[in-house]
Chain A
Amino acid sequence: MSEVLYARAQMAYSLAFHIIFASVGIAMPLLMVIAEVLWLRTGDAEYLKLAKRWAKGTAVFFAVGAVSGTVLSFELGLLFPAFMEHAGPLVGLPFSLEGFAFFTEAIFLGIYLYGWDKVGRWVHVGAGLVVAASGALSAVFVTIVNAWMNAPTGFRVEDGKIVDIDPLRAMATPFALHEILHTLLAAYMATTLAGGAIHAWALLRARTSSFHRRALAISLAVTIPVSLAQPLVGHYAGQQIAVHQPMKLAALEGLEQTQPRAPLTVGPLEVPGLLSFMAFNDPDAVVKGLEEIPVQDRPHWIVRSSFQVMVGLGSLAAGYALFTLAVAVRRRRLPEGRLWLLTSIALGPAGVIAMEAGWVVTEVGRQPWTIYGVLRTADAATPVKDLWLPFAIFAAVYAVLGVVVGGVLVRQVRGTTDPPAEGG
């Protein structure tokens, strides 16, 4: 493997690892606060137990998210120093804002986790709300940085140099809106689909457990709206790349030739003009094909496969959300059949997989550019040699951490399902 490839691969697995923990750190605080509020409103001790269980899980995920995030902020320079030298003055602003959001999150999470009997009850809920909000806000800011890499704004290039920089304009990149919304929704989907699956599995084993029924209900209250909104935001994301990164769109759809009335292929069906309509709201619009760029610059096939995985899983999740919502509205209670529980379990990993696939679409689809149209990945990477060493070190560390966190999660879940007295 070439040195650049080591750098790219290390960046990719570090981010792929971090994003899982970051997402849980964004979504779990919301769930635990909802449970705590329900406890304070109803006095039902099971909600309190739920809030505490979820807080315990959050503590583990947050800590691993924080340390793996620290690694990332250094890796930006360790692996892509030229990128940071160019981009630092432009994206330092969102990164600084993110720093304050992290800070707020870490302070108030400490108070939430260890302050149960040190601060008043509603103050405690307030601390939890601040954690949930600042977690989401830090995601907003860091996602803006990525949006800027995809659609850089706020500067001019003169003789190969970046001049006239305007960090505020850089933050207003045209990719910001869709990436922020799509990433936040992905975090809530990934976390609540996985969490819901755990509780559905527990319900399958102990059908009458009111503890797990409540947990599942809270989790679904988040899953349903975000799963229904995600495809709409995804469609908007597609329209944005159609304008700003047409080759990415061509790669996603496998479109070879530039053409008007471009068709959309869904399985065996080919609907003429549909792609043009989806991308530009006009069935006659011209959609650019891959022939426009040299072969060596064309996106890797994995971009297209990942896109299909993401859209497929997103459609399944939206269908599941719609069905569950319909049943809940008509019967005024959650479905509880075996088949529905099994479906909930099967969809457990779907959110995480779709989220990772989505990042592959965005990131690999941006290649060969790190700053789209401005700085090539090969020119951004570090001159340091023998990158296999840090690559192997971090790969080993993350592999071990992944296994250990998995084990911790299993034990924490068992703690709520095994003894029937406690679980039911």
Chain B
Amino acid sequence: MLPELFAGVILAALVLYALLGGADFGGGVWDLLARGPRAADQRRVIERAIAPVWEANHVWLILAVVMLFTAFPPAFSAIAIDLHVPLVLMLVGIVLRGSAFVFRQYGDGGRASTERWGRVFAIASTVTPVVIGVTVGAITTGARRASGVPPSTLDLSWLGGFELLVGLFTLALFAFLAAAYLTVEAQTPELRDDFRARAIGASLSAGALAGAAALAAGPATTRFADRLTGSWWSLPLAGLTTAVALGALALLFTRRFGLARVVAGSQVVLVLLGWGAAQYPVLVAPDLTIASAAAPAATLEVVWPVLIAGSVLLFPSLYWMLRVFKAGQR
């Protein structure tokens, strides 16, 4: 039972990373794509929305990694060996995104330097979600593990069509979340409409990419595809996710932004839950499962209370932070 709980905690941390950290990456995407007479204003809204919270949002990823190597050490080392290169690319993206963001804000280097770092921030924010998605895709298929090629940083067997589609889907999803949140953060009706149009566009792209990825899943990983489409929960979950996605679109169309933000978040939660349910009980395809990779009970039994005590401290603090910075902007 404990290993299952830890797997659940890791999934929850990933969900929160997507909801919070993912939206910060999405903000960078819209910085890159800022266009038209209000481009500078759009960038300002994005910067103000991200600045106080991005570092806290980022810690969800670290928590997921720490939980992974604590509770499922062989899964961590398998991922680190097989997906060395995508993980390096992801880390470079994370480093450049974060550093460029503070250099832009605090660099004191004048216009040109601010603009240059703004570019780096925006490009890194756009590339990193794709790499994150590719990594998740590769964990799902286990193609690299199954290929039998001795691992080298120069081999590209982790990158297939399915993986790439998951990467692009992740990008669209993060961009959608960010735009939906930014409709609430924007202070003028014009800016709100800018982000509304972007949210709608991103939602439609995400839908198309999700469809394409689902089609590609069959050939890439039969096990995952079968569970995704052939389980008792498949139809209800697909129906619910579609309904929520359409609901978010409808709310955006009718400019009920506060509610749209919540429904957009639920859509992302459902997507990740669906992935987790289809992946279960496998952690890293094809062979590492929750049971086979679990750390000794002695470990799980002492870390579990730490998680509970930590959450008791963490969630009220997080709630307070979000209230301080995200209230009053409705």
A176 to B314, alpha carbons, bound, how many Å?
26
B55 within 8 Å of A (CB atoms): yes
Closest to B108 in A: A411
In the assembly, what is the distance between CA of A404 and CA of B102, in Å? 11
Contact, CB under 8 Å: B92 / A114: no
B280 within 8 A of A: no
Q: Which of B60-83 contact A (CB under 8 A)?
A: 61-63, 65-67, 69-71, 73-74, 76-81
Chain B interfacial residues counted at CB < 8 A: 66
Bound state CA distance, A347 and B56, in angstroms?
35
Chain A window 39-72, contacts with chain B (Cβ cutoff 8 Å), 1 for yes, 0 for no: 0000000000000000010011011101111110
Give chain B nearest CB distance to A394 CB in angstroms: 8
Q: Are A85 and B313 in contact (CB under 8 A)?
A: no
CB distance from B54 to the nearest CB of A (A): 8
B52 at the interface (CB under 8 A from A): yes
| Chain B: minimal CB distance from A121 (Å) | 14
Stretch at the interface among A92-100, A177-185, A207-215, A278-286: A92-100
In the complex, identify which listed stretch (B215-223, B230-238, B318-326) lies at the interface while the others stay far away: B318-326
Other-chain residue from A77, A100, A110, A401 in contact with B56 (beta carbon distance below 8 A): A110
* A-chain residues with CB within 8 Å of residue B244 when the two chains form the complex: none
A64 touches which of B58, B73, B102 (Cβ 8 Å): B102
Q: Could you say which of B52, B91, B299 contacts A70, with CB atoms under 8 Å apart?
A: B91
Minimum C-beta distance from A146 to chain B (A): 16
Interchain pairs with CB closer than 8 A, number: 214
Q: In this assembly, does A78 line the interface, its C-beta being within 8 Å of a C-beta of chain B?
A: yes
Looking at B31-39, B151-159, B179-187, B190-198, the stretch in contact with chain A turns out to be B151-159
Contact indicator B56/A106 (Cβ below 8 Å): yes
| CB < 8 Å neighbour of A81 from B67, B77, B307 | B77
A118 close to B (CB within 8 Å): yes
- For window 223-269 of chain A, which residues contact chain B by CB distance below 8 Å? none
A66, A97, A166, A386 interface centre (most CB from chain B within 10 Å): A66
The 0/1 profile, CB within 8 Å of A marked 1, for residues 152-175 of chain B is 111000000000000000000000
C-alpha gap A415/B108 in the complex (Å): 9
| Interface contact B63-A103, CB-CB below 8 Å | yes
Q: Which stretch from A295-303, A310-318, A324-332, A377-385 is at the chain B interface?
A: A377-385
Specify the chain A residue showing the minimal Cβ separation from B102. A63
A165 to B164 alpha-carbon distance, docked (Å): 41
A60:B106 contact, CB within 8 angstroms? yes
Verify if A319 is at the interface (C-beta below 8 Å from B): no
| A107 and B56 contacting across the interface, CB-CB below 8 Å | yes
Chain B residues closer than 8 Å to A74, beta-carbon distance: 65, 80, 87, 91
Residues of chain A contacted by B67 (CB below 8 angstroms):
96
Interface status of B148 (Cβ within 8 A of chain A):
no
The closest CB in chain A to the CB of B307 belongs to A96
Which residue of A has the minimal Cβ distance to B323?
A118
Given A106-B56, A111-B52, A390 and B69 contact (CB-CB distance below 8 Å): no
Taken together as a complex, chains A and B put the C-alpha atoms of A107 and B310 apart, in Å, by: 14
A18 to B307, CA, bound (A): 26
Bound complex: CA A41 to CA B74 (Å): 55
Contact of B250 with A by CB under 8 A: no
For B55, give its contact among A77, A95, A110, A404 (CB under 8 Å).
A110
Interface pick from B93-101, B205-213, B264-272: B93-101
- The answer to whether residues A383 and B99 also contact, given A85-B74, A390-B88, A408-B108 and a CB cut-off of 8 A, is no
B10 vs chain A, min Cβ distance (A) = 12
- Using Cβ atoms and an 8 Å threshold, which residues of chain B touch A103? 56, 59, 63, 310, 314, 317
> B63: which A residues are within 8 A, CB to CB?
99, 103
Residue B303 is within 8 A (CB to CB) of chain A in the complex: yes
Selected from A66, A76, A84, A111, the residue in CB contact (under 8 A) with B58 is: A66
Instruction: Answer yes or no: B306 CB below 8 A from chain A CBs.
Output: yes
- Sample of 22 A–B contacts (CB below 8 Å): A67-B95, A67-B97, A70-B58, A71-B91, A71-B94, A74-B91, A77-B80, A84-B80, A92-B69, A93-B299, A93-B302, A100-B310, A102-B59, A108-B317, A114-B325, A168-B302, A383-B150, A390-B88, A393-B88, A411-B109, A412-B106, A415-B108
Q: Which residues of A contact B (CB under 8 A)?
A: 56, 59-60, 62-64, 66-71, 73-74, 76-78, 81-82, 84-86, 88-90, 92-93, 95-100, 102-104, 106-111, 113-115, 118-119, 165-168, 382-387, 389-390, 393-394, 397, 401, 404, 407-408, 411-412, 415
Instruction: Using A77-B69, A78-B87, A93-B306 as known contacts, list a sample of 9 further A-B pairs with CB atoms less than 8 Å apart, ordered by residue number in A.
Output: A92-B295, A103-B59, A103-B310, A104-B313, A165-B296, A168-B302, A404-B103, A408-B107, A415-B108
